[in-house]
């Protein structure tokens, strides 16, 4: 297991962010570091060079589908900083194809990465949060888990599953001082939309009341707020951040 760590700072609150090497995950990692959090993150590949060795950062190369690797990662974070105050389930993959044309392996990988892996990570993090009777969890869903979009049926199913997890888990752990919410981003200007044709992007922009694609920093800001004291009386909710696309 590769590691990229920085100096310990036990005074800061500790957040675990899955899939923190690019896109929205990287934006969340940066936002939390900038606002004083200690951040532990992992991905399957190397961390981006521009993140650099920073204070209050812990990174490992972890396959989130590996239950033992996830347990070890959370245990390392707990040993390093003594607590886990927040978890952001961001890591995910997407395959675009009609369900009748999708390969069985692709469907299995989608469910393993987008549903099973967050469940395993959440279970491991909760066991640490329960020690201090408090914590915050944010699951990153998607608007395609709420509206029909052609060609992403399997991916949509995995994101809808995260919203179901959010509602049920909020009831399970609320009395223990743990809040659970979700964020459902719309179309963002990221690698996932980078393969779109100009016509496809123009169609999305026309349908969006704010007339543009979203930026990862705008969603990261909502996630950071949900982890903050300002959202202390909010749990079991999904916040849609899509420029009005689904309104």
Pick the catalytic residue from 73, 155, 239, 245. Answer: 155
> Do the beta carbons of residue 17 and residue 136 sit within 8 Å?
no
In sequence order, what are the beta bridge partners of 38? 14
What gap in Å lies between CA 170 and CA 125, rounded to an integer?
A: 15
Residue 179 to residues 82, 88, 166, 246, Cα–Cα distance (Å): 20, 12, 9, 26
Q: How far apart are CA 174 and CA 128, in angstroms?
A: 15
Structure tokens at 241: 């951040």
Q: How many residues are recorded in the chain? A: 247
Cα separation of 131 and 83, whole Å? 8
Alpha-carbon dihedral angle through residues 7, 10, 11, 15, given to the nearest 10 degrees: 90
155 in active site: yes
Active site (catalytic) residues: 155
């Amino acid at each position: 297991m590769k590691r990229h760590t920085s100096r310990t700072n036990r005074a800061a609150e500790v957040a675990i962010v899955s899939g923190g090497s690019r896109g929205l995950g990287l934006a969340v990692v940066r936002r939390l570091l900038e606002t004083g959090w200690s951040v532990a993150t992992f991905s399957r590949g190397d961390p981006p060079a521009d993140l650099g060795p920073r204070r209050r950062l812990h990174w490992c190369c972890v396959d989130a589908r590996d239950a033992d690797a996830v347990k070890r990662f959370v245990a390392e974070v707990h040993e390093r900083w003594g607590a886990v105050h927040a978890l952001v389930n961001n890591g995910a993959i997407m395959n675009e194809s009609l369900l009748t044309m999708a390969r069985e392996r692709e469907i299995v990988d989608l469910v393993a990465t987008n549903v099973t892996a967050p469940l395993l990570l959440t279970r491991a993090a909760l066991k640490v949060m329960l020690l201090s009777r408090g914590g915050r969890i944010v699951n990153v869903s998607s608007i395609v888990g709420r509206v029909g979009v052609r060609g992403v049926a399997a991916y949509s199913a995995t994101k809808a599953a995260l919203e179901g997890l959010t509602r049920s888990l909020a009831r399970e752990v609320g009395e223990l001082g743990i809040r659970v919410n979700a964020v459902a981003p719309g179309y963002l200007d990221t690698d996932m939309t980078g393969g779109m044709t100009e016509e496809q992007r123009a169609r999305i922009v026309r349908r969006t009341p704010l007339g543009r694609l979203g930026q990862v920093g705008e969603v990261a800001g909502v996630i950071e707020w949900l982890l903050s004291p300002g959202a202390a009386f909010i749990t079991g909710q999904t916040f849609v951040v899509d420029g009005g696309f689904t309104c």
